[in-house]
Structure 1
Amino acid sequence: MPAEPPRAVPSASHPALDQRRRSERRACSLAVSLRGGSGTYLARLTDLSADGIGMRIDTLAPLKPGTSLTLTHPELGEVPCLLRWSMHPRYGAEFQATTRVLARIRAYYDSLPPGPGEII
């Protein structure tokens, strides 16, 4: 009998695998700067929602969920985020921003064509 292929198993270290999204994600490819943890990083957003982001960060050492980050981009401004999950080099973060900043993010989100973000 052939062995079953490995399956993703929800765990405390990967909560994204077992949580439903609160809002629709839209695909994007946006270069941003992130500050937090032990330094400053260049990242590429792969998807955006009203609540958070999916991104790729090429770091030598993986970042840990719970890390506070500040995302910086000319159109989005400075956006405080909390890293929610990590599957290095892919990460997901939740916005921790003010109403004004969230309105700016929502305007940018609305400018993106509908469609799914990166499938994790």
Structure 2
Amino acid sequence: MLVALTVATAVAALLLAAWCGWAAWRDQPTKDWHFIGMGVVALLATVQLVVGVVQLARGEKPEQGTVIYVAYLLGAFACVPAAGFMSLAERTRWGSLTVAAGGFVLAVLQVRLYDIWGA
């Protein structure tokens, strides 16, 4: 597992959560700029998914099990896009709050992935 990628993804997710949380506090829905930020965070999660699968294919094994590691990788991959789609359905401040929660959840998943890998 690439620790730098995990840290970068977690920091980007927390920045997205703070940005969308600020928008929710100001009573604003998600805007185009928020979706660009979600795209950047989702790209980092996609790179992490690919790197994780490649490491598993090379024979490296996480300490706490491959199945749970892949499950967390897939959850991290889907977290922000799912929140983004939900925010499209709710075009109020609650949509921004949903993305903020999704970013926070992704950051927590990064910590858990780090623990599962045993780095």
Q: TM-score range by the shorter chain?
A: under 0.3
RCO higher in structure (CA 8 A, sep ≥6): 2
> What is the TM-score of this pair, normalised by structure 1?
0.25
> What is the TM-score of this pair, normalised by structure 2?
0.25
Question: Which structure shows the bigger proportion of residues in strand conformation?
Answer: 1
Question: Which structure shows the bigger proportion of residues in helix conformation?
Answer: 2
